[in-house]
Chains A and B, each alone.
Chain A
Amino acid sequence: MNSKKEKNTKKSSKNIYYSISFLILVIILYIVLYFLKSEKIINSLSASKDIFVNIIPVLFLVIFLMGISNYLLTPKKVSKYLGIKSGFKGWFLSALFGIISHGPIYVWYPLLKDLKEHGMRTGLVAVFLYNRAIKIPLLPIMIFYFGVYFVIILYIYMIVASLFQGKIIEIMEEKYIEQRGENA
């Protein structure tokens, strides 16, 4: 348990290191380009500032929603409900928990592996992973850029696509097991 925690902490500090390095590289690029064409860099800064000013209020809302989703849901709570369920309930719960799950994906891989080993269907794992693409706390920023109608339509199709994907993976898996059985 502790080693899992240590691993995650290591990964997250590595991520912070990469993100700061990325920002430093961009700043260096700005400094270099400033000496080549200062006018264009001032325009770039002004364009970036405009984007910031527009999205800052939305970002606060995003942090608030992230806090709420952190409070309501943890991998431990999810594992309680996401077991060897099949039928409509299994598909529904996998999609639902995929949607409301949060945090980096590597936090969820060990849980999914565990559930898979305890009999969770492969299709349901796929459905869970696909629906992680739907991020409720990020809704404000998505609506800000693309509009409510776009977001609703996109999310409906994504949920449908996740179910198709899960079913296809399951069929492929069954065929593969059958073939292996015939060859053995």
Chain B
Amino acid sequence: MIDKKINTINKVGVTTSFYKAIKSFGASLPVLIGVILLIGLFKSYIPSKLISSVFTGEIFRDTFLGSTIGSILAGNPITSYIIGGELLKEGVSLFAVTAFIIAWVTVGIIQLPAEASILGKRFALIRNILSFLFSILVAIVTVLTLQVVL
């Protein structure tokens, strides 16, 4: 009897969890489709010359730029992976892309007011500034390590 009850609860739990997952993914799907469509536009309208003039290959400049853009933009991290991965194919350096995807998830300029009001202004501000600096540092160290490993 008890086993039957536990089984029913587990089944309901699993169904609810997957329903939640599909619902949450569905909510971010319009943005995902929109971003992929924008990447399509980007690929045919932005010449690679322009990309290489912005991302020059200079480690610090590229990484800083990647972190700055990633800090301003927000949303589901999956979007940042797709944008980053496609930018990489277009010739943007891995330093910039890595910094971009790290800052996207660790720095939250858009969420800053909410974070400050709930967890405190000082905490939110320091945390975001440090996250920005760490996004640069972690990106550089990651790519350099990768270059040594591979």
Q: Which of B78, B82, B149 has the most CB of A within 10 A?
A: B78
Instruction: Determine if B98 and A66 form an interchain contact, defined as CB atoms under 8 angstroms apart.
Output: no
Any chain B CB within 8 A of the CB of A78? no
Query: Which residues of A sit under 8 angstroms from B118, Cβ to Cβ?
Result: 109-110, 112-113
Q: Contact residue range for chain B?
A: 35 or more
**Chain B residue nearest to A165 in the complex (CB):** B130
Cβ contact within 8 Å between B102 and A44: no
A26 — nearest CB in chain B belongs to which residue? B34
Query: In chain A, what residue has the closest Cβ to B111?
Result: A105
Chain B CB within 8 A of A51 CB:
yes
A164 to B34, CA, bound (A): 37
The residue from A30, A109, A153 contacting B119, defined by CB atoms under 8 A apart:
A109
User: How many inter-chain residue pairs (CB < 8 Å) link A and B?
Assistant: 172
B121 at the A/B interface (Cβ < 8 Å)? no
Please determine whether B81 and A161 come into contact, CB atoms closer than 8 angstroms.
no
A141 / chain B contacts, CB cutoff of 8 Å: 78, 81-82
A116 CA to B122 CA in the complex, in Å? 14
Would you call A44 and B43 a contact (CB within 8 A)? yes
A3 within 8 A of B: no
B56 on interface, CB distance cutoff 8 Å = no
Q: Do residues A19 and B27 form an inter-chain contact, with CB atoms below 8 A?
A: yes
List the A side residues contacting B149 at CB < 8 Å. Answer: 149, 153
Per the bound structure, the CA–CA distance linking A120 and B111 in Å amounts to: 22
Asked whether A116 lies within 8 Å of B138 as measured between CB atoms, the reply is no
Inter-chain pairs besides A145-B82, A161-B138, 13 sampled, C-beta below 8 Å: A41-B41, A44-B43, A62-B25, A105-B111, A109-B114, A132-B105, A141-B81, A145-B85, A153-B142, A154-B102, A165-B127, A165-B131, A173-B122
Task: Show 20 residue pairs from A and B whose CB-CB distance is below 8 angstroms, ordered by the A residue.
Answer: A27-B37, A47-B39, A55-B82, A62-B25, A66-B24, A67-B14, A67-B17, A70-B16, A105-B115, A106-B114, A110-B118, A112-B119, A126-B123, A130-B134, A138-B78, A149-B146, A153-B149, A154-B102, A158-B138, A172-B126
